[in-house]
Chain A
Amino acid sequence: MRVLGIETSCDETGVALYDTRHGLLADALYSQVAMHADFGGVVPELASRDHTRKLLPLIDDVLGEAHCGRADLDAIAYTAGPGLVGALMVGASTAHGMARSLDIPVLGVHHMEGHLLAPMLEDDPVAFPFVALLVSGGHTQLVAVEGLGAYRLLGESVDDAAGEAFDKAAKMLELGYPGGPAIARLAEHGDPTRFRFPRPMTDRPGLDFSFSGLKTHTLTTIKALRDEGALDEQAHADIARAFEEAVVDTLVIKCRRALDDTGLKRLVVAGGVSANVRLRERLDHALTKRRAKAFYPRNRFCTDNGAMIAYAGAQRLMAGEHDDSAILAVPRWPLTDLRPPAV
Chain B
Amino acid sequence: MTSHAASLTHSKGEITTSMPTLLALDASSNACSVALMHRPAGAEADEVSARLSLTPREHTHRLMPMIDDLLAEASLTVEDLDAIAYGHGPGSFTGLRIAAGIAQGLAYGAEKPLIGVSTLAAMAYAAHRQYHLRYVIPALDARMGEIYVGAYYCHQGQLTPLMDEAVMSPEALSLPAGQEDVDWVGVGSGWKLWSSMPAQLQAEIGQHIEDLAPVAEDMAYLASREYLAGQGQSPHLVQPVYLRDKVAWRR
* Of A95-103, A242-250, A299-307, the one touching chain B: A95-103
A-B contact count (CB 8 A): 121
Chain B residues with a Cβ closer than 8 Å to the other chain, count: 38
* Of B36-44, B56-64, B136-144, B217-225, the one touching chain A: B56-64
Q: Which of B61, B101, B112, B247 has the most CB of A within 10 A?
A: B101
* Of A48-56, A280-288, A332-340, the one touching chain B: A48-56
Find out whether the CB atom of A86 lies under 8 angstroms from the CB atom of B97.
Answer: yes
* B53 → A minimal CB distance (Å): 13
* Of A36-44, A123-131, A154-162, the one touching chain B: A36-44
Q: Known contacts A46-B247, A52-B240, A86-B97; can you find 17 more A-B pairs with CB under 8 A? A: A39-B248, A43-B248, A49-B242, A55-B101, A93-B97, A93-B99, A94-B102, A97-B102, A97-B105, A100-B78, A100-B105, A101-B110, A325-B61, A325-B64, A326-B60, A327-B61, A328-B60
Q: Chain A residues near B198 (CB, 8 Å)?
A: none
The answer, among B68, B94, B103, B249, for a CB contact under 8 Å with A97, is: B103
Q: How far is the CA of A39 from the CA of B236 in the complex (A)?
A: 27
Find out whether the CB atom of A101 lies under 8 angstroms from the CB atom of B97.
Answer: no
Find out whether the CB atom of A70 lies under 8 angstroms from the CB atom of B93.
Answer: no
Q: How far is the CA of A102 from the CA of B79 in the complex (A)?
A: 9
Find out whether the CB atom of B97 lies under 8 angstroms from the CB atom of A52.
Answer: yes
Known: A45-B248, A89-B60, A325-B68. A100 touches B106 (CB 8 A): yes
A62-85 to B contact mask, C-beta < 8 Å, 1/0: 000000001000000000000001
Judged by DSSP, the binding face of A is helix
Give chain A's interface residue range (CB within 8 Å of chain B): 35 or more
Find out whether the CB atom of A100 lies under 8 angstroms from the CB atom of B248.
Answer: no
Find out whether the CB atom of B60 lies under 8 angstroms from the CB atom of A327.
Answer: yes
Q: Chain B residues near A326 (CB, 8 Å)?
A: 60-61, 64
Residues of B that sit less than 8 Å from A by CB: 60-61, 63-65, 67-68, 77-79, 93-94, 97-112, 235-236, 239-240, 242, 247-251
Q: Chain B residues near A40 (CB, 8 Å)?
A: 251
Residues of A that sit less than 8 Å from B by CB: 38-40, 43, 45-46, 48-49, 52-53, 55-57, 59-60, 70, 85-86, 89-103, 325-329
Q: How far is the CA of A92 from the CA of B63 in the complex (A)?
A: 13
Q: How far is the CA of A96 from the CA of B247 in the complex (A)?
A: 28
Q: Chain B residues near A99 (CB, 8 Å)?
A: 105, 109
Q: How far is the CA of A53 from the CA of B103 in the complex (A)?
A: 14
Q: How far is the CA of A62 from the CA of B64 in the complex (A)?
A: 26
* B132 → A minimal CB distance (Å): 36
Q: Chain A residues near B235 (CB, 8 Å)?
A: 56
Known: A52-B100, A101-B106. A92 touches B60 (CB 8 A): yes
Q: How far is the CA of A325 from the CA of B110 in the complex (A)?
A: 18
Known: A56-B235, A56-B236, A89-B97. A101 touches B109 (CB 8 A): yes
The answer, among B104, B242, B250, for a CB contact under 8 Å with A56, is: B104
Q: How far is the CA of A43 from the CA of B93 in the complex (A)?
A: 14
Closest-by-CB residue of B relative to A69 is B111
Q: How far is the CA of A95 from the CA of B98 in the complex (A)?
A: 11
Q: Chain B residues near A329 (CB, 8 Å)?
A: 60
Find out whether the CB atom of A327 lies under 8 angstroms from the CB atom of B64.
Answer: yes
Q: How far is the CA of A60 from the CA of B248 in the complex (A)?
A: 30
Q: Chain B residues near A96 (CB, 8 Å)?
A: 64, 101-102, 105
In the A-B complex, the 6 residue pairs with the smallest Cβ-Cβ separation, listed nearest first, are A97-B105, A93-B101, A101-B109, A98-B105, A56-B236, A101-B110
* B184 → A minimal CB distance (Å): 33
Find out whether the CB atom of A94 lies under 8 angstroms from the CB atom of B104.
Answer: yes
Q: How far is the CA of A14 from the CA of B192 in the complex (A)?
A: 42
